[in-house]
Amino acid sequence: MRYRVLGGTGIEVSVHCLGAMMFGSIGNPDHDDSIRIIHAALDAGINFVDTADMYSSGESEEIVGKALQGRRDDVVLATKVHFPMGEGPNRRGNSRRWIVREVEDSLRRLQTDWIDLYQIHRPDHTTDIEETLSALTDLVRDGKIRAFGCSTFPAEDIVEAYHVATQRGLMRFRTEQPPYSILARGIEADVLPTCRRLGMGVLTWSPLASGFLTGKIRKGVTADSHRAQLMAQRFDPSLPVNQAKYEAVEKLAALADEIGCTLPELAVAFAAAHPGVTSVITGPRTMEQLEGLLKGAALELDDAVLDRIDEIAPPGSNTYPPDGVWKPRPLVEPALRRRPAGERAAG
C-alpha cells in the first residue's frame, strides 16, 4: 500500500481510503459483516477511513466505531457534518451552534475521543464562512478534532475560506473531498489546481462514477447491481443523458481488457494518478467488492494509457454531471441572474 501526506498536516494516509457510506441500512445492514470488511481493509494496509454523520442516519459511524475498538491509534479517521440529522431547522448546516453539538454525537457514535479529519459536507451560504472556521478552529484547540476540511466545495468557496482564515487568524481547511472519475473530470479545471496552490490534500469520492465504471452496467446488459436496482432510472439506456456514458464505458472496458485489468481497477488507478489527489475513497458494500478494489491498489497507469483515457474522456470534461454535487445558487435561483423587470425595461 502506498501512502501520502495529507495536506501539509504531516499525517500519512493510504492512497486508498475506505469509504463507509455503504455500511448500515442504505447498503450493508449486517454490522458483523461490515466490521469484517473494515478489518480486512485495515489488514491490507489501508489506514484511512471516511464516514459521515448522515450515512444511514448515524449507523455508519456506529459500525466504524465498533470496528476500530483496539485499533483506533493506527487509523486516520474522518467524518463529516452538514446534512440534516433529525427534525428541526437547526439540526443541519454549518453554523457554530450545530457543529459544536453534532461533533459530540459523532464522537459518541464513533466511540473515540478525537476525530482526525472533520469535514464540512457541503457549502452553506446562510452561514458566514468565518462562523464555520471559527467553530472548527476551537474544536482543534479543544483537542476534539485534529484537522478539518471541506467536501464538494466549488473553487471560489475554497479560495474565500482560505482568505478569511488568513485575515482572521483562524485555522484553514486542510483538505477538500470532491467527486472525481474518468466520467466526471470537471474538477481538473479549477478545484484540483486551486487545492495544489493552497497546499490542500484531496480525497476524491465516486471513482466508479456512481456505478457506471463497475463493469456491471454495460450496453445490452441488464443492470442487476445493488445500486442499479435502487436507482434504475439513472441507468436506463433509453435516456439520452445516459447514452454518452454507455459509449464511454464500452471504450474504457476495452482499454482495461487490453492492459489486463478490470474496469474498476482502471477507474480507481486513474483517480490516484492525478498529482493533486492524495487519496481515493472507495466504498465497498461486500467483501467481494473490497477484494476486487484491493487487487488494483498497486496498479499504476503509464502515460500511454492515460493518453488513451484522455481521448475517451477529455481532461476537465464531465461526461455526466456528478451526482450529489452542490449547485451554484445563481443556477437554481432565477432572481440571482435576472434584473428586476422594471430595471430591465428602463435599460
Q: Give the residue numbers annotated as catalytic, written as ranges.
A: 55
User: How many Cα atoms within 13 Å fall on the side-chain side of residue 344?
Assistant: 6
What are the CA-CA distances from residue 133 to residues 118, 158, 177, 178, 328 (Å)? 12, 12, 17, 19, 21
Of the candidates 278, 300, 326, which has an alpha carbon nearest to the alpha carbon of residue 8? 278
DSSP 29-82: --HHHHHHHHHHHHHTT--EEE--TTGGGGHHHHHHHHHTTTTGGG-EEEEEE-
Q: What is d(CA 233, CA 70) in angstroms, rounded to the nearest whole number?
A: 43
Contact between 198 and 171 under an 8 Å Cβ cutoff? The reply is no
Q: What is d(CA 107, CA 102) in angstroms, rounded to the nearest whole number?
A: 9
DSSP 3-state of 5: strand
> Which DSSP helix (H) or strand (E) runs through 148?
strand 145-151
Grid cell, residue 122, equals: 457541503
What are the CA-CA distances from residue 210 to residues 10, 73, 117, 163, 224 (Å)? 31, 32, 24, 33, 14
